[in-house]
Structure 1
């Protein structure tokens, strides 16, 4: 996620130079053709088409931002639930269950890192394995994060069978695991369910068509300034289209997505400090102003 007030110049140039160059070349071709073979284009159809396209793109961008914000809300719930689980393990389990406390907390840290990797379509990294014992059965599961959550549930049940907690305390801890599982399910729904194809195909098609028609409708009025004016106007349409593309998948590991690594580090710090272990520093934005 870009956390600076404005994206860096290099980032902007990297994203827009190709469509800008293509737009400008097309605008120059249309302008040159107009002065060689003058033509007249009706302005009303272009105005109506542009107005309809703006509404279409605005609705699509709002839908994409709603997905992005829902993903952020679900990760906020994950952070809170992880803190609650660590606090319950620390306060409800007796001193003799010290190793069980640590196991629950460390497995929750491994869980959020595993979930981060799954949402980004990455293999489990060292942030997952360093909190687990060698050969942990959860690593053999298709859904490693869910396997780790199941393992935490078994540890809580084992604590109840050993008499360390009662059934009411077990139910309270299980309720937190349910919140965690519900948050994971919401994230997987966002990841595995793209916007309907109509929201992805038609806005792209109509935006590109609009960019092709712009210089034809503007050249009679703007003359030699058409390449500049049409390119800037086309860039605005392409920018709105790109905003929707950037936000539609909040877990895609791009500069515009949610900072999952930073949020996992926040959970790691809070949970390690809850059991008195040394914790790493928070993640900071890189030189480009991007927090991953």
Structure 2
């Protein structure tokens, strides 16, 4: 996620220089052709085309932003649920009898959120997960097709073991299970966003119409702008292509790009809060790198 108050011109240029160059060359070609060839191109209703395209792109960008914001909301719920699980574990399980069980459940939750982050980003499970789980979990929970769900299931089993040992009563167990349900619901929402892209029409038609509009733009402007057509047409086309690119960037909030939800930073927030709740030393928060919070 970009956190700089002022966008980096270098980053913007790196993303748009290629289509901008192609558009400028095309605008120059149309302008030169207009003054060299004896016939003139017909006028085009660019205002109508542009207005319709702007509405189309605005609707698509809003849909993409809603996906991004829902992803951020679900991760906010995950942070709150992790804190609630840690607090209930720390307060309900007695010391010293259940001290190790208490630490195991809390550390497993840290492993769980990191495993979920890796899954959503389509990355292999890393050390941020394996260092918080026992060897038997690496061969069982992490070996599942959905390692995060495997860790959550085994956390539920440990809560049931604590009840069987007499460390929890049924009311306390039910309360902790409700927190696990909230965590599972948040994970399901994130997986729905990740595995369900925008409909094909939302992705293909805006791209097609934007490129068609940029091709027609200098043809419709050359008569009124003359030799200024390359500049005016390129700037106008850039605005439409920028809106198109915004929608593309926000469609998948878990793609591990600079525009995504900062999963690494939020997982570190959970790790800090949960480790401090059991008195362990916590790592520092994730800091932005060149204006990007990962």
Q: TM-score, normalised by structure 1?
A: 0.98
Matches within 5 A, 1:34-183: 34-37=34-37, 38-44=39-45, 46-95=46-95, 96-136=97-137, 137-183=140-186
- How far did 1:40 drift? 3.5
* CA distance, structure 1, for counterparts of residue 220 and residue 136 of structure 2: 66
- How far did 1:272 drift? 0.2
- How far did 1:193 drift? 0.1
Question: Is residue 2:286 matched to residue 1:283?
Answer: yes
- How far did 1:43 drift? 3.4
Report what 1:271 is aligned to: 274
User: Cα deviations across residues 143-172 of structure 1 (Å, max 9, x unaligned)?
Assistant: 000000001000000000111010000000
Q: How many residues of Structure 1 are paired with residues of Structure 2 in the alignment?
A: 290
Q: TM-score, normalised by structure 2?
A: 0.97
* CA distance, structure 1, for counterparts of residue 128 and residue 94 of structure 2: 28
Cα RMSD of the aligned pairs, angstroms, is 0.7
Report what 1:203 is aligned to: 206
* CA distance, structure 1, for counterparts of residue 150 and residue 108 of structure 2: 10
* CA distance, structure 1, for counterparts of residue 262 and residue 69 of structure 2: 12
* CA distance, structure 2, for counterparts of residue 47 and residue 39 of structure 1: 20
Matches within 5 A, 1:184-203: 184-203=187-206
* CA distance, structure 1, for counterparts of residue 175 and residue 13 of structure 2: 52
* CA distance, structure 2, for counterparts of residue 39 and residue 192 of structure 1: 50
* CA distance, structure 1, for counterparts of residue 186 and residue 41 of structure 2: 57
Structure 2: gaps of 5 or more residues = none
Structure 1: gaps of 5 or more residues = none
